[in-house]
Amino acid sequence: MYHRRQFLNTLAASSLAALPGLMLSATARAAKTTFELTLSDAEWKKRLSPQQYAVLRQADTETPFTSPLNKEHRAGVFSCAGCQLPLFSSATKFDSGTGWPSFWKPLDNAVVKATDTTFGMTRDEVLCRRCGGHLGHVFDDGPKPTGLRYCMNGLALAFTAGTAPAA
């Protein structure tokens, strides 16, 4: 069954994909912030695939339901695809039905939030604490115990199977 949230998220992602020029790059939004790992655009382009660069450095949004990480259910850690900082434990992953990997809590000292006012709305953007890469957004419609939904782009993440850190 196709839920209303899935429809709205698919519509939003399609709109975002059609209008990439309206998105500010993560580098531009975070220019006033100093991160542990700072690379030039040329260095990021060497390190990342074109799709990862678009998401992590230009705040693009991947098409919903395309990330293999949606179906990743093994124990392990989801890290930043740009700098490998561990971000989320598999113990906090849940199926939000939105088409993107979702978590109810990041690991301690893993992410920072920034205000995103693109497209005439205000949202909480989630960035990697180490490199400032755009990961996605956080919303207040998630499950207990936090009530939060960290809606992440799969292209911004790398998964390593193993023991999952405690939630």
DSSP class of residue 43?
Answer: H
**Quick check: is 151 catalytic?**
yes
Q: Quick one: how far is CA 40 from the chain centroid?
A: 21
Binning the chain into helix, strand and coil, the percentages to the nearest 5 are 30, 25, 45
Return the bridge partners of 123, or none.
Answer: 116
Task: Say which residue the tokens 């000292």 belong to.
Answer: 109
Return the bridge partners of 93, or none.
Answer: 103
Task: Say which residue the tokens 């293999």 belong to.
Answer: 68
Which sign, positive or negative, has the C-alpha torsion 28, 33, 39, 40? positive
Give the integer Cα–Cα distance in Å for 49 and 82: 10
Question: What is the residue type of 16?
Answer: L
Kindly name the residue from 83, 128, 131, 151 that is annotated as catalytic: 151
For the annotated catalytic residues, the residue numbers are 151
